[in-house]
Protein backbone atom coordinates (compact mmCIF):
# COMPACT_ATOMS: atom_id res chain seq x y z
CA UNK A 1 0.00 0.00 0.00
CA UNK A 2 2.86 2.35 0.82
CA UNK A 3 4.41 1.93 -2.63
CA UNK A 4 2.85 4.96 -4.24
CA UNK A 5 3.59 7.09 -1.19
CA UNK A 6 7.27 6.11 -1.34
CA UNK A 7 7.63 6.34 -5.12
CA UNK A 8 5.99 9.75 -5.35
CA UNK A 9 7.75 10.96 -2.21
CA UNK A 10 11.14 9.89 -3.56
CA UNK A 11 10.64 11.60 -6.90
CA UNK A 12 9.43 14.84 -5.30
CA UNK A 13 12.22 14.66 -2.73
CA UNK A 14 14.89 14.30 -5.44
CA UNK A 15 13.30 17.13 -7.37
CA UNK A 16 13.23 19.34 -4.30
CA UNK A 17 16.91 18.62 -3.56
CA UNK A 18 17.87 19.34 -7.17
CA UNK A 19 15.90 22.59 -7.08
CA UNK A 20 17.36 23.65 -3.75
CA UNK A 21 20.96 23.03 -4.80
CA UNK A 22 20.48 23.81 -8.48
CA UNK A 23 23.63 25.96 -8.89
CA UNK A 24 25.79 23.10 -7.56
CA UNK A 25 23.88 20.18 -9.07
CA UNK A 26 23.43 21.51 -12.59
CA UNK A 27 26.43 20.59 -14.75
CA UNK A 28 26.27 23.82 -16.79
CA UNK A 29 25.04 27.38 -16.62
CA UNK A 30 21.41 27.07 -17.80
CA UNK A 31 21.69 30.30 -19.78
CA UNK A 32 25.13 29.73 -21.36
CA UNK A 33 24.73 29.62 -25.12
CA UNK A 34 27.20 27.99 -27.50
CA UNK A 35 26.06 27.84 -31.09
CA UNK A 36 28.77 25.30 -31.92
CA UNK A 37 27.14 22.89 -29.49
CA UNK A 38 23.54 23.40 -30.71
CA UNK A 39 21.10 20.49 -30.81
CA UNK A 40 23.41 17.91 -29.31
CA UNK A 41 21.55 14.62 -28.76
CA UNK A 42 21.31 12.89 -25.34
CA UNK A 43 24.23 10.76 -24.15
CA UNK A 44 23.30 7.38 -25.64
CA UNK A 45 22.93 8.64 -29.22
CA UNK A 46 25.60 9.17 -31.88
CA UNK A 47 27.12 12.61 -31.85
CA UNK A 48 26.55 13.18 -28.14
CA UNK A 49 29.06 15.37 -26.34
CA UNK A 50 30.29 14.16 -22.90
CA UNK A 51 28.91 16.30 -20.06
CA UNK A 52 25.70 17.18 -21.89
CA UNK A 53 23.67 14.24 -20.59
CA UNK A 54 20.30 15.12 -22.02
CA UNK A 55 21.57 17.07 -25.02
CA UNK A 56 21.30 20.77 -25.83
CA UNK A 57 18.70 22.99 -27.44
CA UNK A 58 19.06 24.98 -30.67
CA UNK A 59 21.05 27.70 -28.87
CA UNK A 60 23.41 25.15 -27.33
CA UNK A 61 22.03 25.40 -23.78
CA UNK A 62 22.23 22.26 -21.64
CA UNK A 63 18.75 20.64 -21.35
CA UNK A 64 19.44 18.92 -18.02
CA UNK A 65 20.70 22.12 -16.37
CA UNK A 66 17.71 24.08 -17.64
CA UNK A 67 15.34 21.44 -16.31
CA UNK A 68 17.00 21.51 -12.89
CA UNK A 69 16.71 25.28 -12.73
CA UNK A 70 13.15 25.07 -14.07
CA UNK A 71 12.29 22.80 -11.13
CA UNK A 72 12.96 25.75 -8.80
CA UNK A 73 10.19 27.81 -10.35
CA UNK A 74 7.85 24.84 -10.68
CA UNK A 75 8.21 23.76 -7.05
CA UNK A 76 8.11 27.30 -5.71
CA UNK A 77 4.84 27.93 -7.54
CA UNK A 78 3.51 24.52 -6.41
CA UNK A 79 4.27 25.09 -2.74
CA UNK A 80 3.33 28.74 -2.36
CA UNK A 81 0.34 28.86 -4.71
CA UNK A 82 -0.92 25.45 -3.55
CA UNK A 83 -0.74 26.34 0.14
CA UNK A 84 -2.30 29.79 -0.27
CA UNK A 85 -5.10 28.44 -2.45
CA UNK A 86 -5.76 25.71 0.09
CA UNK A 87 -5.81 28.09 3.06
CA UNK A 88 -8.21 30.55 1.44
CA UNK A 89 -10.49 28.03 -0.27
CA UNK A 90 -10.66 25.55 2.61
CA UNK A 91 -11.35 28.29 5.17
CA UNK A 92 -14.24 29.66 3.11
CA UNK A 93 -15.52 26.14 2.44
CA UNK A 94 -15.53 25.19 6.13
CA UNK A 95 -17.24 28.45 7.11
CA UNK A 96 -19.93 28.00 4.45
CA UNK A 97 -20.51 24.33 5.26
CA UNK A 98 -20.48 24.68 9.03
CA UNK A 99 -22.35 27.93 9.66
CA UNK A 100 -24.62 27.58 6.58
CA UNK A 101 -27.21 30.43 6.46
CA UNK A 102 -26.11 33.71 4.93
CA UNK A 103 -22.37 32.95 4.99
CA UNK A 104 -23.07 29.87 2.88
CA UNK A 105 -25.30 31.81 0.50
CA UNK A 106 -22.67 34.50 -0.10
CA UNK A 107 -19.73 32.11 -0.48
CA UNK A 108 -21.60 29.60 -2.65
CA UNK A 109 -22.95 32.28 -5.04
CA UNK A 110 -19.44 33.75 -5.29
CA UNK A 111 -18.08 30.30 -6.18
CA UNK A 112 -20.80 29.82 -8.81
CA UNK A 113 -20.00 33.15 -10.44
CA UNK A 114 -16.25 32.56 -10.22
CA UNK A 115 -16.47 29.15 -11.84
CA UNK A 116 -18.37 30.52 -14.82
CA UNK A 117 -15.15 32.19 -16.08
CA UNK A 118 -13.02 30.00 -18.37
CA UNK A 119 -9.96 29.42 -16.14
CA UNK A 120 -7.14 29.59 -18.71
CA UNK A 121 -8.47 32.78 -20.28
CA UNK A 122 -9.01 34.19 -16.81
CA UNK A 123 -5.38 33.45 -15.97
CA UNK A 124 -4.08 35.02 -19.17
CA UNK A 125 -6.23 38.09 -18.52
CA UNK A 126 -4.97 38.35 -14.95
CA UNK A 127 -1.31 38.09 -16.00
CA UNK A 128 -1.91 40.71 -18.65
CA UNK A 129 -3.24 43.04 -15.95
CA UNK A 130 -0.76 42.12 -13.20
CA UNK A 131 2.24 41.92 -15.54
CA UNK A 132 4.41 38.80 -15.91
CA UNK A 133 6.46 37.55 -12.99
CA UNK A 134 6.55 34.82 -10.34
CA UNK A 135 4.27 36.74 -8.00
CA UNK A 136 1.66 37.25 -10.72
CA UNK A 137 1.57 33.53 -11.52
CA UNK A 138 1.07 32.66 -7.88
CA UNK A 139 -1.64 35.29 -7.50
CA UNK A 140 -3.40 34.15 -10.66
CA UNK A 141 -3.48 30.52 -9.46
CA UNK A 142 -4.79 31.51 -6.04
CA UNK A 143 -7.45 33.82 -7.47
CA UNK A 144 -8.69 31.21 -9.93
CA UNK A 145 -8.43 27.97 -7.99
CA UNK A 146 -9.68 28.76 -4.46
CA UNK A 147 -13.16 27.78 -5.70
CA UNK A 148 -12.06 24.16 -6.15
CA UNK A 149 -11.29 23.93 -2.42
CA UNK A 150 -14.27 25.98 -1.32
CA UNK A 151 -16.72 23.74 -3.15
CA UNK A 152 -15.31 20.35 -2.14
CA UNK A 153 -14.57 21.31 1.46
CA UNK A 154 -18.02 22.89 1.87
CA UNK A 155 -19.68 19.64 0.76
CA UNK A 156 -17.44 17.59 3.03
CA UNK A 157 -18.12 19.91 5.99
CA UNK A 158 -21.88 19.74 5.34
CA UNK A 159 -21.86 15.96 5.48
CA UNK A 160 -19.68 15.92 8.61
CA UNK A 161 -21.92 18.55 10.22
CA UNK A 162 -24.91 16.22 9.90
CA UNK A 163 -23.12 13.54 11.95
CA UNK A 164 -24.31 12.98 15.51
CA UNK A 165 -20.88 13.69 16.97
CA UNK A 166 -21.60 17.36 16.25
CA UNK A 167 -24.92 17.18 18.13
CA UNK A 168 -23.12 15.27 20.85
CA UNK A 169 -20.54 18.07 21.15
CA UNK A 170 -23.44 20.48 21.67
CA UNK A 171 -24.91 18.20 24.35
CA UNK A 172 -21.49 18.23 26.01
CA UNK A 173 -21.53 22.04 25.99
CA UNK A 174 -18.87 22.73 23.38
CA UNK A 175 -19.11 26.10 21.64
CA UNK A 176 -19.91 26.21 17.93
CA UNK A 177 -16.47 27.54 17.00
CA UNK A 178 -14.68 24.96 19.12
CA UNK A 179 -16.83 22.22 17.56
CA UNK A 180 -15.75 23.37 14.11
CA UNK A 181 -12.05 23.42 15.03
CA UNK A 182 -11.79 20.44 17.37
CA UNK A 183 -14.43 18.04 16.04
CA UNK A 184 -15.01 18.72 12.34
CA UNK A 185 -11.60 19.92 11.16
CA UNK A 186 -9.73 16.69 12.04
CA UNK A 187 -12.32 14.77 10.03
CA UNK A 188 -11.94 16.83 6.86
CA UNK A 189 -8.14 17.10 7.09
CA UNK A 190 -7.46 14.00 4.93
CA UNK A 191 -9.59 15.51 2.16
CA UNK A 192 -7.81 18.86 2.55
CA UNK A 193 -4.40 17.18 2.26
CA UNK A 194 -5.40 15.17 -0.80
CA UNK A 195 -6.77 18.32 -2.44
CA UNK A 196 -3.69 20.33 -1.45
CA UNK A 197 -1.26 18.01 -3.20
CA UNK A 198 -3.60 17.77 -6.18
CA UNK A 199 -3.62 21.57 -6.30
CA UNK A 200 0.19 21.61 -6.19
CA UNK A 201 0.19 19.42 -9.29
CA UNK A 202 -2.33 21.71 -10.95
CA UNK A 203 -0.21 24.75 -10.04
CA UNK A 204 2.76 23.14 -11.81
CA UNK A 205 0.60 22.60 -14.90
CA UNK A 206 -0.79 26.14 -14.84
CA UNK A 207 2.71 27.57 -14.51
CA UNK A 208 3.80 25.42 -17.48
CA UNK A 209 0.80 26.56 -19.56
CA UNK A 210 1.50 30.20 -18.80
CA UNK A 211 5.18 29.72 -19.62
CA UNK A 212 4.15 27.93 -22.79
CA UNK A 213 2.17 30.95 -23.97
CA UNK A 214 5.06 33.14 -22.85
CA UNK A 215 3.13 34.82 -20.05
CA UNK A 216 5.22 33.43 -17.25
CA UNK A 217 8.38 35.02 -15.93
CA UNK A 218 11.10 36.59 -18.07
CA UNK A 219 12.82 34.37 -20.63
CA UNK A 220 16.04 34.64 -18.59
CA UNK A 221 14.76 32.07 -16.11
CA UNK A 222 14.35 28.61 -17.57
CA UNK A 223 10.92 27.04 -16.99
CA UNK A 224 9.54 23.66 -18.05
CA UNK A 225 6.70 25.28 -19.94
CA UNK A 226 9.10 27.62 -21.73
CA UNK A 227 11.33 24.67 -22.68
CA UNK A 228 8.32 22.77 -24.03
CA UNK A 229 7.35 25.81 -26.11
CA UNK A 230 10.89 26.15 -27.51
CA UNK A 231 11.18 22.43 -28.07
CA UNK A 232 7.93 22.35 -30.01
CA UNK A 233 9.39 24.48 -32.81
CA UNK A 234 12.25 22.03 -33.40
CA UNK A 235 10.60 18.76 -32.44
CA UNK A 236 11.62 17.05 -35.70
CA UNK A 237 15.30 17.98 -35.39
CA UNK A 238 15.73 17.79 -31.59
CA UNK A 239 12.84 15.91 -29.91
CA UNK A 240 14.72 15.77 -26.59
CA UNK A 241 14.24 19.48 -25.93
CA UNK A 242 10.47 18.85 -25.82
CA UNK A 243 10.25 15.32 -24.45
CA UNK A 244 12.43 15.52 -21.32
CA UNK A 245 10.72 18.54 -19.69
CA UNK A 246 7.33 17.17 -20.73
CA UNK A 247 8.05 13.81 -19.10
CA UNK A 248 9.38 15.52 -15.95
CA UNK A 249 6.24 17.63 -15.78
CA UNK A 250 4.09 14.54 -16.17
CA UNK A 251 5.96 12.62 -13.45
CA UNK A 252 5.81 15.58 -11.06
CA UNK A 253 2.09 16.18 -11.43
CA UNK A 254 1.38 12.46 -11.10
CA UNK A 255 3.59 12.27 -8.01
CA UNK A 256 1.75 15.15 -6.34
CA UNK A 257 -1.64 13.51 -6.76
CA UNK A 258 -0.33 10.10 -5.66
CA UNK A 259 1.38 11.66 -2.65
CA UNK A 260 -1.96 13.12 -1.59
CA UNK A 261 -3.79 9.81 -1.90
CA UNK A 262 -0.98 8.04 -0.08
CA UNK A 263 -0.98 10.54 2.80
CA UNK A 264 -4.76 10.38 3.05
CA UNK A 265 -4.68 6.60 3.45
CA UNK A 266 -1.81 6.82 5.89
CA UNK A 267 -3.36 9.32 8.28
CA UNK A 268 -6.93 8.10 8.25
CA UNK A 269 -7.45 5.97 11.38
CA UNK A 270 -10.52 4.36 9.83
CA UNK A 271 -8.76 3.27 6.64
CA UNK A 272 -5.48 2.42 8.32
CA UNK B 1 -37.19 16.81 36.98
CA UNK B 2 -38.93 17.79 33.75
CA UNK B 3 -42.20 19.70 33.46
CA UNK B 4 -43.36 20.08 29.90
CA UNK B 5 -46.45 22.13 29.08
CA UNK B 6 -48.21 22.48 25.75
CA UNK B 7 -44.99 21.94 23.82
CA UNK B 8 -45.20 22.75 20.12
CA UNK B 9 -42.47 22.57 17.52
CA UNK B 10 -42.62 23.19 13.79
CA UNK B 11 -40.17 23.08 10.92
CA UNK B 12 -40.35 25.16 7.74
CA UNK B 13 -41.55 23.05 4.82
CA UNK B 14 -39.00 23.95 2.15
CA UNK B 15 -40.62 21.62 -0.40
CA UNK B 16 -43.69 23.86 -0.52
CA UNK B 17 -41.94 27.20 -0.21
CA UNK B 18 -43.46 29.78 -2.56
CA UNK B 19 -41.07 31.58 -4.93
CA UNK B 20 -41.18 34.65 -2.72
CA UNK B 21 -42.07 34.75 0.93
CA UNK B 22 -41.81 32.43 3.87
CA UNK B 23 -42.27 28.66 3.58
CA UNK B 24 -45.29 27.07 5.33
CA UNK B 25 -44.64 25.40 8.70
CA UNK B 26 -45.10 21.69 9.41
CA UNK B 27 -46.03 21.07 13.01
CA UNK B 28 -44.16 18.04 14.41
CA UNK B 29 -45.11 18.32 18.08
CA UNK B 30 -48.71 19.37 18.62
CA UNK B 31 -49.04 20.53 22.19
CA UNK B 32 -47.48 17.94 24.52
CA UNK B 33 -47.82 18.15 28.30
CA UNK B 34 -46.21 15.67 30.69
CA UNK B 35 -43.90 15.45 33.70
CA UNK B 36 -40.88 13.31 34.40
CA UNK B 37 -40.54 13.13 38.19
CA UNK B 38 -37.16 12.40 39.75
CA UNK B 39 -36.22 8.71 39.67
CA UNK B 40 -38.72 7.76 36.99
CA UNK B 41 -37.75 5.80 33.91
CA UNK B 42 -40.11 7.06 31.23
CA UNK B 43 -40.57 5.16 28.01
CA UNK B 44 -41.50 7.26 24.99
CA UNK B 45 -42.94 5.01 22.30
CA UNK B 46 -44.32 5.70 18.86
CA UNK B 47 -43.98 4.77 15.22
CA UNK B 48 -41.64 6.51 12.82
CA UNK B 49 -42.75 10.07 12.19
CA UNK B 50 -44.54 10.23 15.53
CA UNK B 51 -42.13 12.98 16.68
CA UNK B 52 -40.45 11.02 19.46
CA UNK B 53 -36.89 11.89 18.43
CA UNK B 54 -37.87 15.53 17.85
CA UNK B 55 -39.36 15.58 21.34
CA UNK B 56 -36.10 14.19 22.73
CA UNK B 57 -34.00 16.78 20.92
CA UNK B 58 -36.31 19.57 22.09
CA UNK B 59 -36.01 18.37 25.70
CA UNK B 60 -32.22 18.62 25.44
CA UNK B 61 -32.60 21.95 23.63
CA UNK B 62 -30.85 20.78 20.50
CA UNK B 63 -33.99 22.22 18.92
CA UNK B 64 -35.92 25.29 20.01
CA UNK B 65 -39.69 24.82 20.54
CA UNK B 66 -42.07 27.20 18.76
CA UNK B 67 -44.28 27.55 21.85
CA UNK B 68 -45.02 26.01 25.21
CA UNK B 69 -42.57 25.60 28.09
CA UNK B 70 -39.91 23.12 29.13
CA UNK B 71 -38.85 23.34 32.75
CA UNK B 72 -35.81 21.40 33.86
CA UNK B 73 -35.46 21.15 37.64
CA UNK B 74 -37.45 24.36 38.02
CA UNK B 75 -35.57 26.36 35.39
CA UNK B 76 -37.40 27.42 32.24
CA UNK B 77 -35.06 26.32 29.43
CA UNK B 78 -37.53 26.73 26.56
CA UNK B 79 -35.87 29.70 24.91
CA UNK B 80 -32.48 29.93 26.66
CA UNK B 81 -29.61 30.83 24.33
CA UNK B 82 -26.72 28.42 23.83
CA UNK B 83 -24.31 30.33 26.18
CA UNK B 84 -27.02 30.40 28.86
CA UNK B 85 -27.63 26.67 28.41
CA UNK B 86 -23.96 25.68 28.54
CA UNK B 87 -23.56 25.59 32.36
CA UNK B 88 -26.77 23.51 32.58
CA UNK B 89 -25.78 21.06 29.88
CA UNK B 90 -23.75 18.79 32.16
CA UNK B 91 -26.99 17.98 34.01
CA UNK B 92 -28.96 16.57 31.07
CA UNK B 93 -27.16 14.15 28.81
CA UNK B 94 -28.03 12.03 25.83
CA UNK B 95 -27.13 8.63 24.43
CA UNK B 96 -27.49 8.59 20.67
CA UNK B 97 -29.02 6.00 18.38
CA UNK B 98 -25.99 5.36 16.18
CA UNK B 99 -22.69 5.37 18.06
CA UNK B 100 -20.78 5.13 14.77
CA UNK B 101 -22.06 8.62 14.00
CA UNK B 102 -22.13 10.07 17.52
CA UNK B 103 -18.56 9.09 18.45
CA UNK B 104 -15.99 11.21 16.62
CA UNK B 105 -14.01 8.64 14.56
CA UNK B 106 -10.77 10.54 15.18
CA UNK B 107 -10.81 10.32 18.94
CA UNK B 108 -9.83 7.41 21.11
CA UNK B 109 -12.28 6.16 23.72
CA UNK B 110 -10.42 8.02 26.48
CA UNK B 111 -10.68 11.33 24.62
CA UNK B 112 -14.34 10.73 23.81
CA UNK B 113 -15.24 10.35 27.48
CA UNK B 114 -12.72 12.89 28.83
CA UNK B 115 -13.61 15.71 26.40
CA UNK B 116 -16.99 16.65 27.97
CA UNK B 117 -15.47 16.32 31.49
CA UNK B 118 -12.75 18.83 30.61
CA UNK B 119 -15.30 21.19 29.05
CA UNK B 120 -17.14 21.35 32.36
CA UNK B 121 -13.92 21.72 34.34
CA UNK B 122 -14.44 18.52 36.32
CA UNK B 123 -11.62 17.28 38.49
CA UNK B 124 -9.87 13.90 38.34
CA UNK B 125 -10.65 13.34 34.66
CA UNK B 126 -8.55 10.17 34.35
CA UNK B 127 -10.18 8.61 37.41
CA UNK B 128 -13.66 9.45 36.18
CA UNK B 129 -12.95 7.98 32.74
CA UNK B 130 -11.71 4.73 34.22
CA UNK B 131 -14.69 4.50 36.60
CA UNK B 132 -17.08 5.14 33.70
CA UNK B 133 -15.44 2.33 31.71
CA UNK B 134 -15.84 0.05 34.74
CA UNK B 135 -19.51 0.95 35.10
CA UNK B 136 -20.33 -0.05 31.52
CA UNK B 137 -18.17 -3.16 31.73
CA UNK B 138 -15.44 -2.20 29.29
CA UNK B 139 -11.81 -3.18 30.04
CA UNK B 140 -9.47 -0.29 30.85
CA UNK B 141 -7.21 -0.95 27.85
CA UNK B 142 -10.10 0.05 25.57
CA UNK B 143 -9.25 3.66 26.44
CA UNK B 144 -6.72 3.81 23.61
CA UNK B 145 -8.99 2.29 20.96
CA UNK B 146 -10.74 4.14 18.18
CA UNK B 147 -14.51 3.67 17.73
CA UNK B 148 -14.09 1.66 14.51
CA UNK B 149 -11.99 -0.87 16.41
CA UNK B 150 -14.97 -1.73 18.64
CA UNK B 151 -18.07 -3.86 18.05
CA UNK B 152 -21.50 -2.24 17.86
CA UNK B 153 -22.40 -3.18 21.43
CA UNK B 154 -19.05 -1.96 22.77
CA UNK B 155 -19.47 1.33 20.91
CA UNK B 156 -22.86 1.88 22.48
CA UNK B 157 -21.29 1.18 25.88
CA UNK B 158 -18.82 3.99 25.19
CA UNK B 159 -21.82 6.24 24.40
CA UNK B 160 -23.37 5.28 27.75
CA UNK B 161 -20.07 5.80 29.59
CA UNK B 162 -19.68 9.25 28.06
CA UNK B 163 -23.11 10.30 29.34
CA UNK B 164 -22.63 8.70 32.78
CA UNK B 165 -19.18 10.20 33.40
CA UNK B 166 -20.68 13.67 33.70
CA UNK B 167 -22.92 12.44 36.56
CA UNK B 168 -25.99 14.04 35.01
CA UNK B 169 -29.39 14.33 36.72
CA UNK B 170 -31.18 13.16 33.61
CA UNK B 171 -30.29 10.98 30.62
CA UNK B 172 -32.17 10.69 27.36
CA UNK B 173 -31.63 7.44 25.48
CA UNK B 174 -32.78 7.77 21.87
CA UNK B 175 -33.38 4.36 20.24
CA UNK B 176 -30.06 3.19 21.65
CA UNK B 177 -30.52 -0.49 20.87
CA UNK B 178 -32.27 -0.36 17.52
CA UNK B 179 -28.97 -0.46 15.59
CA UNK B 180 -27.64 -3.49 17.46
CA UNK B 181 -28.00 -7.22 16.89
CA UNK B 182 -30.29 -9.12 19.25
CA UNK B 183 -27.64 -10.39 21.68
CA UNK B 184 -25.94 -6.99 21.99
CA UNK B 185 -29.40 -5.46 22.45
CA UNK B 186 -30.01 -7.73 25.41
CA UNK B 187 -26.60 -6.95 26.90
CA UNK B 188 -27.00 -3.19 26.56
CA UNK B 189 -30.53 -3.33 28.01
CA UNK B 190 -29.36 -5.45 30.95
CA UNK B 191 -26.55 -2.98 31.57
CA UNK B 192 -28.93 -0.04 31.43
CA UNK B 193 -31.51 -1.57 33.79
CA UNK B 194 -28.70 -2.47 36.22
CA UNK B 195 -27.38 1.12 36.07
CA UNK B 196 -30.88 2.51 36.57
CA UNK B 197 -31.18 0.46 39.77
CA UNK B 198 -27.69 1.29 41.06
CA UNK B 199 -27.65 5.00 40.31
CA UNK B 200 -31.39 5.73 40.68
CA UNK B 201 -31.24 7.56 37.38
CA UNK B 202 -33.98 9.65 35.89
CA UNK B 203 -34.16 8.40 32.34
CA UNK B 204 -36.25 8.91 29.24
CA UNK B 205 -36.03 5.96 26.90
CA UNK B 206 -37.22 6.53 23.35
CA UNK B 207 -38.09 3.42 21.36
CA UNK B 208 -40.46 2.11 18.73
CA UNK B 209 -40.50 -1.26 20.45
CA UNK B 210 -42.88 -1.76 23.39
CA UNK B 211 -41.25 -5.02 24.47
CA UNK B 212 -38.00 -3.14 25.13
CA UNK B 213 -39.91 -0.43 27.05
CA UNK B 214 -41.63 -3.05 29.16
CA UNK B 215 -38.34 -4.36 30.53
CA UNK B 216 -36.95 -1.01 31.53
CA UNK B 217 -39.56 1.65 32.15
CA UNK B 218 -41.83 2.53 35.03
CA UNK B 219 -44.08 4.83 32.98
CA UNK B 220 -44.91 4.91 29.31
CA UNK B 221 -45.92 7.76 27.04
CA UNK B 222 -47.40 6.79 23.67
CA UNK B 223 -46.89 9.30 20.88
CA UNK B 224 -48.80 9.30 17.60
CA UNK B 225 -48.58 12.02 14.94
CA UNK B 226 -47.09 14.52 17.39
CA UNK B 227 -49.73 14.00 20.09
CA UNK B 228 -49.78 12.02 23.31
CA UNK B 229 -52.43 9.34 22.88
CA UNK B 230 -51.84 7.63 26.20
CA UNK B 231 -49.66 7.87 29.28
CA UNK B 232 -49.78 5.30 32.02
CA UNK B 233 -47.78 3.12 34.38
CA UNK B 234 -46.12 0.33 32.40
CA UNK B 235 -48.07 -2.50 34.04
CA UNK B 236 -51.41 -0.70 33.56
CA UNK B 237 -50.63 0.01 29.94
CA UNK B 238 -49.86 -3.62 29.16
CA UNK B 239 -52.90 -4.89 31.11
CA UNK B 240 -55.48 -2.50 29.77
CA UNK B 241 -54.37 -0.27 26.90
CA UNK B 242 -56.77 2.66 26.58
CA UNK B 243 -55.99 4.00 23.13
CA UNK B 244 -56.51 2.17 19.84
CA UNK B 245 -53.01 3.08 18.71
CA UNK B 246 -51.52 1.51 21.86
CA UNK B 247 -53.43 -1.70 21.13
CA UNK B 248 -51.99 -1.71 17.62
CA UNK B 249 -48.48 -1.31 19.01
CA UNK B 250 -49.08 -4.12 21.51
CA UNK B 251 -50.40 -6.38 18.77
CA UNK B 252 -47.19 -5.77 16.82
CA UNK B 253 -45.01 -7.39 19.51
CA UNK B 254 -44.08 -10.89 18.35
CA UNK B 255 -44.91 -13.42 21.08
CA UNK B 256 -43.08 -16.73 21.32
CA UNK B 257 -45.45 -19.49 20.24
CA UNK B 258 -45.15 -22.57 22.46
CA UNK B 259 -46.97 -24.80 19.99
CA UNK B 260 -44.79 -24.03 17.02
CA UNK B 261 -42.82 -26.92 15.62
CA UNK B 262 -39.75 -26.70 13.42
CA UNK B 263 -40.68 -28.06 10.03
Please give the pLDDT value at position A147.
93
Residue pair B98/B156 in contact (Cβ under 8 Å)? The answer is no
| DSSP 8-state assignment for residue A174 | -
Assess if residue A125 is contained within a domain. Answer: yes
CATH code, domain with A62 = 1.10.3720.10
For residue A198, the SS3 value is helix
Q: Is A214 on the interface with B (CB under 8 A)?
A: no
Assess if residue B2 is contained within a domain. Answer: no
Report residues of chain A scoring pLDDT below 70. 1, 216, 218-219, 269-272
Distance from CA of B116 to the nearest CA of A (A): 5
CB-nearest partner of B89 from A163, A165, A171: A171
| Chain segment A26-82, per-residue pLDDT in tens | 888 888 888 888 788 888 888 777 888 788 888 888 889 999 999 998 999 999 999
Residue pair A70/A88 in contact (Cβ under 8 Å)? The answer is no
Element (H, E) at A135: helix A134-161
Is B25 or A94 the better-scoring residue by pLDDT? A94
Which residues in chain A touch residue B178, judged by CB atoms under 8 angstroms apart?
Answer: none
Assess if residue B128 is contained within a domain. Answer: yes
Question: Range of B129's domain?
Answer: 105-166
Residue B128 has pLDDT above 80, yes or no: yes
Mean pLDDT of the region B189-193: 89
Count of domains observed in chain B: 1
Residue B19: pLDDT band (50, 70, 90) is confident
Handedness of CA A15, A19, A20, A21 (dihedral sign): positive
Average confidence score pLDDT of chain B:
89
Assess if residue A234 is contained within a domain. Answer: yes
Assess if residue B95 is contained within a domain. Answer: no
Mean pLDDT of the region B203-214: 88
- Report the predicted TM-score, pTM, of the whole model to 2 decimal places: 0.85
Assess if residue B157 is contained within a domain. Answer: yes
Count of domains observed in chain A: 1
Is A80 or B200 the better-scoring residue by pLDDT? A80
Q: In chain B, which ranges are E strands?
A: 2-12, 25-36, 41-45, 67-72, 75-76, 92-95, 170-174, 202-207, 219-224, 227-233
Please give the pLDDT value at position A272.
53
Assess if residue A232 is contained within a domain. Answer: yes
Question: Range of A236's domain?
Answer: 3-21+28-267
Rounded distance between C-alpha atoms, residue B147 and residue B144, angstroms = 10
Assess if residue B124 is contained within a domain. Answer: yes
Residue B263 has pLDDT above 60, yes or no: no
A164/B96 CB distance under 8 A: yes
Q: Is A101 on the interface with B (CB under 8 A)?
A: no
Mean pLDDT of the region B4-23: 86
Please give the pLDDT value at position B59.
93
* ipTM score of complex: 0.87
Rounded distance between C-alpha atoms, residue A119 and residue A22, angstroms = 32
Please give the pLDDT value at position A218.
66
B222 strand-pairing partners: B45, B230
CB-nearest partner of A173 from B94, B103, B120: B120
Which residues in chain B touch residue A173, judged by CB atoms under 8 angstroms apart?
Answer: 85-87, 89-90, 116, 119-120
Residue B105 has pLDDT above 70, yes or no: yes
Please give the pLDDT value at position B183.
86
Amino acid sequence: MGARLWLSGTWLGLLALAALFAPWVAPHDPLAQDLFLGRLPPFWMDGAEPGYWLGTDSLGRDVLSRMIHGARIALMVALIAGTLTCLIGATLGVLAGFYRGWSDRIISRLVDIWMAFPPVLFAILLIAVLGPGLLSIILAIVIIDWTRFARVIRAETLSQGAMDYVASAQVAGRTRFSTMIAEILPNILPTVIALLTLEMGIAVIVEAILSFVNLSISTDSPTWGGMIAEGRTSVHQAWWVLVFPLFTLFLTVLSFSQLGEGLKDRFDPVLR
Amino acid sequence: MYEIRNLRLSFPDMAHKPLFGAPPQIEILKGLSFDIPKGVVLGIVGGSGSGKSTLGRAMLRLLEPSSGTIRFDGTDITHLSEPELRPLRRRFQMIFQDPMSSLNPRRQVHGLIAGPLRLHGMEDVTGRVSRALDMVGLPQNFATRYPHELSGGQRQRVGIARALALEPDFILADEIVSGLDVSSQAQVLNLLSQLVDELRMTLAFISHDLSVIRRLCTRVLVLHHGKIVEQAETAALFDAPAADYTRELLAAIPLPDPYQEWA
